[in-house]
Amino acid sequence: MPLLVIIFITTSVDGALLDAPKDVVVRITNALQNNVNLTVHCKSGDDDLGVQTLRINENFEFNFQTNIFGSTLFFCGFKWSNEFRWFDIFTDKRDDCSSCYWTIIELGPCLYGIDGLCYQWNKH
């Protein structure tokens, strides 16, 4: 009986393996040029983290636990000067980090610690 329970817990209805939840920290740092404030608004399907205003080199940090289905997604809107952009700041399918530290520049978000790993903003 215990073996049956373990198999059920690690297998979904269609037979695909489920992911073990992991703890994740996301940090977003304002690295915009010209000493410009960055307004950040992050959400998931379940959580609205509110609006944060970051001065140059300031950061905003949040943590969560991924779901067992491998579908955890947090997205953020970024506003500065006359610009508005958005980006999927964490998606289980792309991100393997447990400490995901992002630097926000005009051209897009860059993942800290991985040289040259910057992404384009999401399309509107």
* CATH code assigned at 56: 2.60.40.10
**What pLDDT, in 10s, does the model give residues 68-107?**
999 999 999 999 999 999 999 999 999 999 999 999 999 9
Could you give the number of structural domains in the chain? Answer: 1
Sort strands 23-30 and 99-105 into parallel, antiparallel or unpaired. Answer: parallel
Closest C-alpha to 111, from 8, 41, 94: 94
pTM of the predicted model, to two decimals?
Answer: 0.83
**What pLDDT, in 10s, does the model give residues 34-73?**
999 999 999 999 999 999 999 999 999 999 999 999 999 9
Report if residue 91 sits inside a domain. yes
Report if residue 102 sits inside a domain. yes
Report if residue 99 sits inside a domain. yes
Question: Sorting pLDDT into bands at 50, 70 and 90, what band is 113?
Answer: confident
Helix (H) or strand (E) holding 75: strand 73-80
Report if residue 8 sits inside a domain. no
Give the domain range for residue 42. Answer: 21-111
**What pLDDT, in 10s, does the model give residues 8-38?**
444 444 455 788 999 999 999 999 999 999 9
Report if residue 2 sits inside a domain. no
Report if residue 119 sits inside a domain. no
Report if residue 7 sits inside a domain. no
Report if residue 11 sits inside a domain. no
More confident residue, 120 or 113: 120
Quote the Cα angle for 60-66-71, to 5°.
110
